[in-house]
Chain A
């Protein structure tokens, strides 16, 4: 079963705009991770935010975590056509000995 739910399921924006994707989950977690998947490829780890963190940045990526609402958001600023991919959130219940639980993903299309 999948714990995370991403919202929206699909998002289409113009190059240069910001893209925001949301993720909700059901149980307490150790950390939440965001992954990117290009069509037909494996997943690439983007960023990890721990349960005691509220916000994290990496380049054009900004992730927030609200454990009281059991939700996270991924913001991609100044999007590029190369950002076109599916984005998944995944929760890790404990550090290292439990599997990641993925949502269904958001399919982002960035139009040049």
Chain B
């Protein structure tokens, strides 16, 4: 597609529920990043893929967070047993190569109630 597509756009989850957030990067983009953005803050890094390899997951806040990109294109961020502090906008970004700027999706706004 023309841009990075994220779904769903909005998600309301009850505390304890599992959620899965999807990112469709630009076709052919090698690098894919997930970020978490709390209200009024800048995005914070969660994890990074180069093709299907997860090269850095140091930003994942707990073992309830899991990300995958099995075929090197679409990526899914899964959050198990959601907590209220997980409420945030989750942003996905991709690029063909590094050092040239990234294309961000519109994000998924997760609200845990």
Contacts and interface: CB of A to CB of B under 8 A. Distances in A.
B44 A2 contact: yes
A39 to B, nearest CB: 11
A97 B45 contact: no
Contact of A41 (B33, B95, B99, B106): B106
Interface residues of B, number: 31
Contacts of A94: 98
B98 A95 contact: yes
Interface in A19-42: 30-31, 33, 35, 40-42
Nearest to A99: B45
A43 B98 contact: no
Interface of A: 1-2, 4, 30-31, 33, 35, 40-45, 48, 50, 88, 90, 92, 94-105
When A and B form their complex, which 9 residue pairs have the shortest distance between CB atoms, in order from nearest?
Answer: A96-B98, A95-B99, A102-B42, A99-B45, A42-B104, A45-B101, A43-B104, A42-B106, A95-B98
